[in-house]
Structure 1
Amino acid sequence: MKLLRYGAPGQEKPGLLHTDGTLRSLAGVIEDVSGKALSGASLDGLRRHEIDKLPVVDPATRLGPCVAGVGKFMCIGLNYSDHAAESGMDVPAEPVLFMKATSAIVGPNDDVVIPKGSEKSDWEVELGVVIGETAKYVSEQEALNYVAGYCVVNDLSEREYQLERCGQWVKGKSCDTFAPLGPYLVTKDEVADPQNLDMWLEVDGRRYQDGNTRTMVFGVAKLVSYLSGFMSLHPGDIISTGTPPGVGLGQKPPVYLRPGQQMRLSIAGLGEQTQRTVAWDA
């Protein structure tokens, strides 16, 4: 299934993408695409539902973030060896873990706001892993059993805040609008192999990133298992698994976002995002 959320910001309702291409409402069927609705039992129940009888949603309706009530937004840095190289950093011996503020989350096609005074805002197409069952000390072999599905994430970054200011990466990753999610949460049964997904990102029609999840240093199962050894993962938590090469920081000379540009990005089978960059306005 391809689960989604539609409607005005803060007023989104749950829905799904029907196999006939129409958007259908799940309002009244589940409370939201969040928490216990992401469990295996809940998703199995949705698969048995009479989808053809669900109300059709206007296709022009805004899509919101595909997951609501995200408790933890975990991110993995330098998880593609060629991206580490373009960043001038070593491939890590263990996953590089940081967190992104959930207040950065927006819909897949919402505007991205360039922070006040920013000169180094950057893009990163990433595979997002959505947790469906509480996971604690799970093995790598069992880890995918705790996954509800996958989504596209644009892990936007302000490189000055991230790399040139004191402290942790989180402040360069957490600016408002710096986490577009969706358009869909694609349940894991529709993703044959999360380690073989093509992914790309374009800015103003120029393709900068063109990679595949097979080149991850640490795969999805390893990441879920690894993180569960440090903290409980709960339904609706998201793991953003790193980006392939082609970010603005890695260009020679570096290229960064400015207001008035358009980003397009996609991961095979998970849908496409489009964002316009706008200036911060107090």
Structure 2
Amino acid sequence: MKLLVGKHAGRNSVFAVQNDTATNLSLLSAQVGSDLSGLINAPELLAEVAAKIPRSDKIAVTDIIPALPIERPGKTICLGLNYVDHVKEGGYDIPTYPALFMRGLESLMPSGAPMVRPKCSHKLDYEVELMVIIGKGGRHISPDTALDHVFGYTVFNDGSVRDYQRKTHQWTPGKNFDSTGAIGPYVVTPEDLPAGASGLKIESRVGTEILQSANTEEMMWPVNKTIATISEFATLNPGDMIAMGTPPGVGHARTPPRFLKPGEVIEVEVEGIGICANPVIDEV
């Protein structure tokens, strides 16, 4: 199922999307609530409300303003260096363990919201990524069962302020500027995608300019191994989100570098999930 969290008629709701129309699942059951937390924490609820969709009113998807899939996610864990060619373009050695960092809530925003180039730097870069939303928590999860812990998949733009990212060996500053990490707008549940969302085209672009184009099957650490690796050191909880790293083609590795500028709209897309598009503005 393709899901969308967004504002309609003055309130945030959860919608099931079919082509260009959507059904408000929050109106079908009060348990659904205003973001995906209700469905994540009550897995049987999705099938219950899905059975009511054919008899329910529809609205246009374009009438919905996207919101974050989970209003206040517990953890947002991100992989760096998960595609070999991206590792090479950044000048790093091929890692034997995934590079992991975390993002704070203020750095995240939904599809459609402005991506903000900060006052202190003009080196705002783009990174298209597959993102995993955890449905069932756990610790010491086996790679063989890890995909059972996935609620759904969405699209992430890991907007990165490169000079701040490179100030130290820790990437936290460059990955946590306010309103630089765009998520959504759609979350697709696993039965509608290949196992582990592998084999999907992944691309970023500005207008007709294609910036990145690759396939999720090229990830060195696929979804099941990533979940297992993270769960070795951290308990994963329902609603946690994991960003799966970006393919080659990022702006800082180009000659000359190609950073995002105010007035542009950056689109990132994962096949079968959707397009996350955000206008770029300067911080005021």
Paired position in structure 2 for 1:124: 127
Paired position in structure 1 for 2:6: 6
1:35–1:69 contact (8 Å) kept in structure 2 = no
Paired position in structure 2 for 1:173: 175
Letter in 2 for 1:170: T
Aligned counterparts of 2:201 and 2:48: Cα–Cα separation in 1: 30
Paired position in structure 1 for 2:47: 44
TM-score calculated relative to the size of structure 1: 0.93
Q: Percent identity of the aligned residues?
A: 33
Aligned counterparts of 1:101 and 1:265: Cα–Cα separation in 2: 21
Q: CA RMSD in A?
A: 1.7
Paired position in structure 1 for 2:246: 243
1:4–1:67 contact (8 Å) kept in structure 2 = no
Please give the residue correspondences for 1:129-278 in structure 2 after superposition, counting only pairs within 5 Å. Answer: 129-163=132-166, 165-166=167-168, 168-193=170-195, 194-278=197-281
Please give the residue correspondences for 1:33-112 in structure 2 after superposition, counting only pairs within 5 Å. Answer: 33-39=35-41, 40-47=43-50, 49-58=51-60, 59-112=62-115
Q: Secondary structure at the match of 2:177?
A: coil
**Residue 36 of structure 1: CA displacement?**
4.7
Letter in 2 for 1:149: G
Q: Secondary structure at the match of 1:224?
A: helix
2:5–2:36 contact (8 Å) kept in structure 1 = no
Letter in 2 for 1:57: I
Q: Structure 1: where are the runs of 5+ without partners?
A: none
Aligned counterparts of 1:258 and 1:192: Cα–Cα separation in 2: 35
Letter in 2 for 1:61: I
1:101–1:170 contact (8 Å) kept in structure 2 = no
Paired position in structure 1 for 2:282: 279
Letter in 2 for 1:184: Y
Paired position in structure 1 for 2:20: 21
Aligned counterparts of 2:24 and 2:14: Cα–Cα separation in 1: 6
Letter in 2 for 1:81: V
**Residue 37 of structure 1: CA displacement?**
1.7
1:131–1:234 contact (8 Å) kept in structure 2 = yes
Aligned length: 277
Aligned counterparts of 2:146 and 2:226: Cα–Cα separation in 1: 9
CA 1:12–1:105 in structure 2 vs 1: closer, same or farther (change >3 Å)? farther
1:122–1:156 contact (8 Å) kept in structure 2 = yes
Q: Kindly provide the CA deviation profile for residues 85-135 of structure 1, in whole angstroms up to 9, marking residues without a partner as x.
A: 001111210111100112222111211111112121100000000000112
Aligned counterparts of 1:67 and 1:46: Cα–Cα separation in 2: 19
**Residue 14 of structure 1: CA displacement?**
1.5
Aligned counterparts of 1:248 and 1:133: Cα–Cα separation in 2: 36
Q: Kindly provide the CA deviation profile for residues 16-58 of structure 1, in whole angstroms up to 9, marking residues without a partner as x.
A: 203x5312212242013333521533333333x3112334334
Q: Secondary structure at the match of 1:5?
A: strand
